[in-house]
Amino acid sequence: MAAERIVIVEDDRNISRLLRYNLEKEGYACSLASNAGEALEALSREKASLIILDIMLPGGVDGFELCRRIKREQSLKDIPVIMLTARGEEVDRVVGLELGADDYVVKPFSPRELTLRVKAVLRRQSAPEQGRDIFSCGGLYVNLPEHKAEVNGKNVELTLMEFKLLAVLVARKGRVQTRDKLLSEVWDMHADVYTRTVDTHIKRLREKLGPAGRMIETVRGVGYRFNSAYED
């Protein structure tokens, strides 16, 4: 079986080589890119399992814009992205997550920690969903095996993490899911990691679902619940 390939987009050669060394020790294949153009070329040339993306890139296209382009491309949008950057302010984390990034690591970082995060993201991507395979309610149709969501017969384009979040909520219809539980099950993160991650993805998920998004109910101070009583 071929090794899973990780595309590392980082203009600092010392960092990119350090990442490649540690990831290849774990059995991954790595491709290096120093800017957006090289990254897109690598992604078009070889199938990637994950992208590690620096925000501060040369050439006029930063990591935020590159992430936006990747998530808009049909053939690339489901590839998980871990953002790696020296910019650790909350607003930068939120922007990255809103663009569809799956995780966010701030420099300086531990190569061991980053490797564990890579494994966690890839594990989440390959893990089978639990619960019902097909769900339909109030114009919302969710097909888990086909990774498909529709509202009133119209396809809804969701990122991998948005779909996994929706799948957990609909499979547990009527039951409150705390932010901590969603972080653990959808993102494989612990409660001390940014709970804003959940709120950011819920907001974007509601927007994409349109009227059906009303069925994702906020339980103040606790978390979220899929409540079909809110269907139109």
3-state secondary structure 21-81: HHHHHCCCEEEEECCHHHHHHHHHHCCCCEEEEECCCCCCCCHHHHHHHHHHCCCCCCCCE
Tell whether 109 and 197 lie within a shared domain: no
Q: Flag whether the pTM goes above 0.75.
A: no
pLDDT of residue 205: 94
Query: 149 is in which domain, residue-wise?
Result: 134-230
Q: Which of 151, 177, 153 is nearest to 164 (CA)?
A: 177
Average pLDDT over residues 24-53: 96
Domain boundary among 64, 96, 126: 126
pLDDT of residue 128: 46
Tell whether 23 and 119 lie within a shared domain: yes
pLDDT at 45 over 90: yes
pLDDT of residue 180: 80
Tell whether 24 and 118 lie within a shared domain: yes
Specify the number of domains making up the chain: 2
Tell whether 99 and 200 lie within a shared domain: no
In the block, tokens 């897109």 appear at 40
Reading across the β-sheet that carries 148-151, which strands appear in turn? 134-137, 140-143, 148-151, 154-155
pLDDT of residue 95: 74
Name the percent of the chain lying above pLDDT 90: 46
Contact call for residues 26 and 4 (beta carbons, < 8 A): no
Average pLDDT over residues 149-170: 90
Q: Encoding tokens for residue 24?
A: 């290849």
Tell whether 10 and 117 lie within a shared domain: yes
pLDDT of residue 132: 60
pLDDT of residue 87: 66
CB under 8 A, 24+ apart: contacts of 74-77 = 76/43, 77/157, 77/159
* pLDDT band of 184, cuts 50, 70, 90: confident
pLDDT of residue 117: 87
Tell whether 155 and 67 lie within a shared domain: no
* pLDDT band of 129, cuts 50, 70, 90: very low
Tell whether 140 and 92 lie within a shared domain: no
Tell whether 86 and 182 lie within a shared domain: no
Q: Which of 219, 222, 71, 205 is nearest to 140 (CA)?
A: 205
Instruction: Check which CATH number belongs to the domain holding 19 and give it.
Output: 3.40.50.2300
| Average pLDDT of the chain to the nearest whole number | 85
Domain boundary among 100, 126, 152: 126
User: Among the listed ranges 87-91, 106-110, 135-139, 156-160, which one has the minimum average pLDDT value?
Assistant: 87-91
Instruction: Check which CATH number belongs to the domain holding 140 and give it.
Output: 1.10.10.10
* Residue scoring higher pLDDT (70 or 130): 70
Tell whether 89 and 155 lie within a shared domain: no
Average pLDDT over residues 200-227: 90
Tell whether 118 and 76 lie within a shared domain: yes
pLDDT of residue 89: 64
Domain boundary among 65, 91, 126: 126
* Residue scoring higher pLDDT (132 or 54): 54
Tell whether 158 and 225 lie within a shared domain: yes
Tell whether 24 and 115 lie within a shared domain: yes
Count of CB atoms within 10 A of residue 17's CB?
14
User: Among the listed ranges 46-60, 68-82, 174-188, which one has the minimum average pLDDT value?
Assistant: 174-188
